[in-house]
Chain A
Amino acid sequence: MKFINLLKKELSELITVQMLLGLVVTLGIFMALGSVMDTTIDEAVEKTSNYTIRLIDRDDTEFTHDMIKSIEKDGNKVRIFTDSGDDYADILNSNDIDDIVIIPEGFTDNINSSKKPELITAAKMTSAATISNINAGSATAVELIQKYISSKLAETGGLSEKQYELVKEPLTLKENTVVADNSAEIASSSIMSRIAIQNMMLPIIVFVLIILTSQMLMSAVANEKTDKTLETLLSAPVSRGAVIGAKMLAAAVIALINAAVYMVGFKVCMGDATSKISSTAGELISGQVSVDEAMRQLGMSLGGMDYFLVGLQLFFTIMICLSVSLVLGALVSDAKNTQSMIMPIMLLAMIPYIISVMTDINALPTVIRYIVYAIPFTHTFTAIPNLMFGRTGLFFAGLIYQIIVFIICIFFALRLFMSDKLFTISLSFGQKSKYKAKKRRKSAEK
């Protein structure tokens, strides 16, 4: 009985309005994310089922004509394009298509002389999301061409050992990936595996950094306020601007040290594995260039300026966190409320964080994408993919948006700190205690 009494007391301490509100909002976020993912997956499914096979027939023989006819007979939509050189980026961009399969010259001759023929594919990569890089047309074409060659060889009968090997594995695939105006001889899956490893860790670092920075400054301000050390400090011959500036700078320095430690740790932890895994994967699949070289050719490797820009965006993210935390910290009525006050920042960081772990924010349906873009932290999560895929306009739009949000937030933070409200205003999640007081009053009246 005593234990139940204690348990009841502990539960009533833990179950608070802010906790319940947090649960409801979190549930809402996950439901919204589920709907976002459904829409994205539906789009991907539609793209996969309504594909068109796009071909360039450079060999132009009776065998390839028959092969294409057989693909069409299977009920596939086939579009034949005229040859326009070896610049695969130009072929895809000028025809405004995402992928193409090229049957090279000598394709039929190679089959006839029992040599493994080459088949060239080129596919556009527009984002880091797997579902936005599905090229069902190319994949189906390769599969059908392989089947056609195998069946044609099998029909001839009396296969030599070489021909038998050809039936089993009839093609050498030369995959090309196109990013913006650049192309490289590598399977997009190899690039994707490299980006996937990066995408696994970087959002975590950004998320932790946002929460850590906010928590630090908010606690610092809240503790000063509740301990009344802030009153002592602000009655000393020192300007309020200096007090705020010192607090923000200290929190920013600690946050940046944290970021550096995380980044170094991430590099040490993942660096070797990343290059080994993805380079090996790249070589196995394409047999042509390493992932690093391919990413360089595709313009996806980040240079010094890119890292500077990413750092700049991270800086403004931290500054937004700090200015919002200043306001929220000043609103805290007691130390216990600090945990609840961080909730708005946590939720705003959680939405782009979860989406960026699951998919590429830029690959979301338009309306949802713009809603997510409205969250200033989103642009930190999309900074690296934007620079990798040459979407510099989007990157700078995000950066400018963050600067504007920061100016607005710091304006309100400074106004609050310079005014009397710093000592007179406080937000308390004390609905429960108010309710209890009301209840007490009622029972006293009775």
Chain B
Amino acid sequence: MADVLEVKGLSKQYSKVLAADNISFSVGEGEIFALLGPNGAGKTTTIRMISTLLTPTAGDAIVAGHSIIKEPAKVRENITYLPDEAGAYKNMTGIRYLRFMAGLFTTDLDQLNACVERAKKICGLGDRLEDKIGSYSRGMIRKLLLARAVMTKPKLAILDEPTSGLDVLNAIEIRKMIKQLAAEEKMSFLLSSHNMLEIEFISDRVGIVSGGHLLVMGSAAELKERYSAANLEEVFERVVNENEIH
């Protein structure tokens, strides 16, 4: 499995805070990798650096063979990013939004239409896509944004809290969709979530981040075994506490 993302010692120093310290991991083709961590652990900073929104203080990340430092434009052609609690343009209709976003990735009309058709199927919003986004519920917006994030078939989809704001059934649907895209279309995912059950169900490998450090990494089964834990929640608790003690 070739690596779609290779993170090599990424660090980010804000004026007084070291938000990310020498973080390294990789995500293979069709793999779902999840970053777990408490608030302020450095997950979003790491994700933002990989998304080329922030410049690392040290280290680099290679996305589909392109450096986030040297070729950020090429990186952006191969990724999509869905921020946590992201909104959409309230005055646009759902379909207009999808067309607008697809238009940023391709100027070919056939490709653009294909992207939009794909998003329409994935989001399942039906006729509501003709309504303004301002009239959507939080869950509907999240579905629209998720569909937007995968419609262009990026090599790497970076999703921050992908199911936040969704009800149980919708969340299950989204998780299935992510797994299916990874398995069938070999799309790679870098996720960040607080929902341990979700991460355990969905991810191939997990990285636990705290205080800007990537503490442990492995599959949910490996980590549960290593920490003699019943579930990922217990692993997370032990790892974070261990880190605080030391």
Contact = CB atoms under 8 A, between A and B. Distances in A.
Contacts of B83: 228, 231-232
| A-B complex: 6 closest residue pairs judged by Cβ atoms | A227-B87, A235-B81, A228-B86, A236-B104, A235-B51, A237-B76
Given A232-B81, A232-B101, A236-B80, 19 more contacts: A227-B86, A228-B83, A228-B86, A229-B86, A229-B88, A231-B48, A231-B53, A232-B83, A232-B148, A234-B53, A235-B53, A235-B158, A237-B76, A237-B104, A237-B105, A420-B54, A423-B48, A423-B53, A423-B54
Given A236-B101, A237-B73, A237-B105, A228 B87 contact: yes
A239 interface: yes
Interface string A221-249: 00000011101111111110000000000
A231 B86 contact: yes
9 contacts: A227-B86, A227-B88, A229-B87, A229-B88, A233-B104, A235-B76, A236-B101, A237-B76, A424-B14
Nearest to A424: B14
Contact of B80 (A229, A235, A239): A235
Given A235-B52, A235-B53, A228 B85 contact: yes
A267 B44 CA distance: 55
B82 interface: yes
Contacts of A420: 53-55
B201 interface: no
B61 interface: no
B25 interface: no
B164 to A, nearest CB: 12
Residue of A234, A235, A238 with highest tally of chain B CB at under 10 A? A235
Nearest to A233: B104
Contacts of A232: 81-83, 86, 101, 145, 148
Contact of A235 (B79, B84, B88, B89): B79
Interface in A411-426: 419-420, 423-424
B93 to A, nearest CB: 15
Interface of A is mostly: loop
B77 interface: yes
Interface residues of B, number: 27
Interface of A: 227-229, 231-239, 419-420, 423-424
B73 A239 contact: yes
Contact of A238 (B81, B104, B148, B158): B104
A307 B86 CA distance: 46
Interface in B201-223: none
Nearest to B88: A229
A239 B52 CA distance: 11
Contacts of A233: 104
A425 B105 CA distance: 28
Contact of B89 (A229, A236, A419, A424): A229
A374 to B, nearest CB: 32
Contact of A236 (B87, B105, B158): B105
B224 to A, nearest CB: 33
Contacts of B55: 419-420
Contacts of A239: 73
A421 to B, nearest CB: 10
Interface string B77-121: 101111111111100000000000100110000000000000000
Contacts of B104: 233, 236-238
Contacts of A419: 55
A220 to B, nearest CB: 10
Contacts of A424: 14, 54
B73 A231 contact: no
A231 B14 contact: no
Contacts of B145: 232
Contacts of A229: 86-89
B134 to A, nearest CB: 11
A80 B6 CA distance: 94
A228 B73 CA distance: 20
Contacts of A237: 73, 76-77, 104-105
A222 B24 CA distance: 34
A423 B53 CA distance: 8
Contacts of B105: 236-237
Contacts of B87: 227-229
A235 B86 CA distance: 13
Nearest to B51: A235
A234 B86 CA distance: 13
Residue of B83, B84, B101 with highest tally of chain A CB at under 10 A? B83
A295 B227 CA distance: 91
Interface string B56-89: 0000000000000000010011011111111111
A420 to B, nearest CB: 5
Residue of A228, A233, A234, A238 with highest tally of chain B CB at under 10 A? A228
A183 to B, nearest CB: 58
Nearest to B145: A232
B201 to A, nearest CB: 26
Contacts of B101: 232, 236
A203 B76 CA distance: 46
Residue of A227, A236, A420, A423 with highest tally of chain B CB at under 10 A? A236
A427 to B, nearest CB: 16
B51 to A, nearest CB: 4
Nearest to B101: A236
A237 B87 CA distance: 19
A229 B81 CA distance: 11
Contacts of B86: 227-229, 231-232
Given A237-B76, A423-B48, A231 B81 contact: yes
A228 B83 CA distance: 7
Nearest to A422: B53
Contacts of B52: 234-235
A238 B14 CA distance: 26
